[in-house]
Structure 1
Amino acid sequence: MATTQLEPVQEPKYWHLKTVLQEALDSEFSVGEILPNERDLAARFGVARATLRQALEQLELEGRLQRRRGVGTTVAPPRMGIAVGTTGASEGAWPGSGSESWRTVGCAEAVPPAAVAAVLGTGTDELVHTVRRVRMMQGQSVATELIFVPSGSVPALPALLTPAAHAPAVLRELHAMALESEDRAVELGSARAEDAKQLDRLPGAPVLVVTTRYRTGQGVAAVSVATYRADTCRLTFGETGTVQISHHEQEERREAS
């Protein structure tokens, strides 16, 4: 078979500028500092403003910059290391058990997405209990979560529940069951309108989607779909209980709550 020689691909001008800007952020600016305006930056680096905007947008997607209306473009703080638990059976692994940084914001009966219904083994038009939660870190929302629980998983749930009692009752019934195992998958996605509102992002912003299946002896009892801000979060998996936060050459360690 003949060998095909690939031609070297020239690096786009905005990408090279992004690298230069990144080095400037590391050496000249501190976290929270406001960058000069676009005109001054473009003049400093000798590029068109359109090229500069592309580079700034890429740095924002990577979590290095934050654009805030009425403030300007500022240097973003380091990504937060967020432990998402261990894979496999462990004590208190049901969502809502133990000490967590999640806050429950509502619960309703709704038809789950088709992919979730397939995992749960429910019908395409069958209502399931849907708990919505928000995860807070350092005073800001970093993730939203939907926990889908079919009626068959919580047969002892009272028929009549007030809105305030719905989510606690569903989670309480889950905790009464023996959890055999759990598994997680992580993928890159785009923020839906409702999630974007909770996360203070624009719809379509890049997010990390963590899908967790909770299993008992009877099969999958619940599915969690958690959506994390991709620009601020660094997900960590492991059993050490320690979260490592790193951002370029800056590093610190803190114990996970």
Structure 2
Amino acid sequence: MGTTQLQTVPEPKYWHLKTVIGEALDSEFAVGEILPNERDLAARFGVARATLRQALEQLELEGRLQRRRGVGTTVAPPRVGVAVEGSRAHSWPGARGDVWQPAGCERGSAPAAVADLLDSEEPVHVVRRTRVSHGRPVAAELLYVPVSSVAELSSIDGPSGPGRARAVLRELQRLGLEGEDRSVELGSASADDARELDRLPGAPVLVVTTRFFAEGRTAAVAVATYRADTCRLTFGDTPHVEIDHRQERRAS
């Protein structure tokens, strides 16, 4: 990495430094390579270590770097393009081709925001599901299913756990799906999200909220939380995972 004169740049020093380091990551470093230590980097760029840390922290938030305990700061793998829709549009969660894995199910009350979407305060089955790509967790989902949507649900599968989750999903598919809509917003990882996604609480996440319509009403609401540092959401009918092969070639 070369040096640069930061004193004449009107934007914050750490922000410009982030850009300079990012360009160097593209041209000089391979995925998984360890960066020089902070002292060497700060000396090379002629900045205080506090400024350098700010730049490195921003690059970590953007998914360009990973800080690995006992190893140091390494170049992160490229983001994966995660298809939001399943193998075909307008399909119930759990339908054939669904890439999510059920992790558990509890009965309880929906949060106020979800209850507003459901236009109901009745009890719900909360199905927890996870999504893994290339061996790492990329998303966690809570699917809220009103009890009335799966009124014929049997107790044979137990009151909770993955088996109960699969039973709720099977019953939900008995309804005729009339349509769905989605919204995407930027959020921060809660403690539960952080634990599921192997991130720190407060890390940036992408929240995809989906409403499923059947019998003239909202029959279920899914709130999926994706890692913003590793995911690039794609919308369409193809469930494949896309990777930036330019970065793959640099890693080889």
Alignment coverage as a number of residue pairs = 238
Show structure 1 runs of 5+ residues with no match: 1-8, 253-257
CA deviation after TM superposition for structure 1 residue 243, in Å: 4.8
Q: Partners of 1:229 and 1:190 in 2: how far apart?
A: 10
CA shift digits 1:123-174 (9 cap, x unpaired): 2xx4210000110100111100000000111111124641343111110011
Please state if 1:200 is matched with 2:198. yes
Assess if the C-alpha contact under 8 Å between 1:142 and 1:199 holds in 2: yes
Q: Which residue in the other structure is 2:23 paired with?
A: 23
**Alignment of structure 1 residues 2-13 onto 2, 5 Å:** 10-13=10-13
CA deviation after TM superposition for structure 1 residue 98, in Å: 1.3
Q: CA RMSD in A?
A: 2.0
Please state if 1:84 is matched with 2:80. no
Please state if 1:134 is matched with 2:133. no
Assess if the C-alpha contact under 8 Å between 2:17 and 2:52 holds in 1: yes
Assess if the C-alpha contact under 8 Å between 2:35 and 2:73 holds in 1: yes
CA deviation after TM superposition for structure 1 residue 121, in Å: 1.8
CA shift digits 1:59-78 (9 cap, x unpaired): 11111001111111110111
* Paired AA for residue 25 in structure 1: L
Please state if 1:68 is matched with 2:68. yes
* Paired AA for residue 106 in structure 1: G
CA shift digits 1:167-200 (9 cap, x unpaired): 1111001111111111110000000101100100
TM-score after normalising by structure 1: 0.87
Show structure 2 runs of 5+ residues with no match: 1-8
Q: Which residue in the other structure is 1:3 paired with?
A: none
CA deviation after TM superposition for structure 1 residue 84, in Å: 0.6
TM-score after normalising by structure 2: 0.89
Please state if 1:39 is matched with 2:4. no
Q: Partners of 1:227 and 1:242 in 2: how far apart?
A: 19
Taking only the aligned residue pairs, the percentage that are identical comes to 66
Assess if the C-alpha contact under 8 Å between 2:31 and 2:247 holds in 1: no
Structure 1 residues 234 and 121: alpha-carbon distance in aligned structure 2, compared to 1, 3 A threshold: same
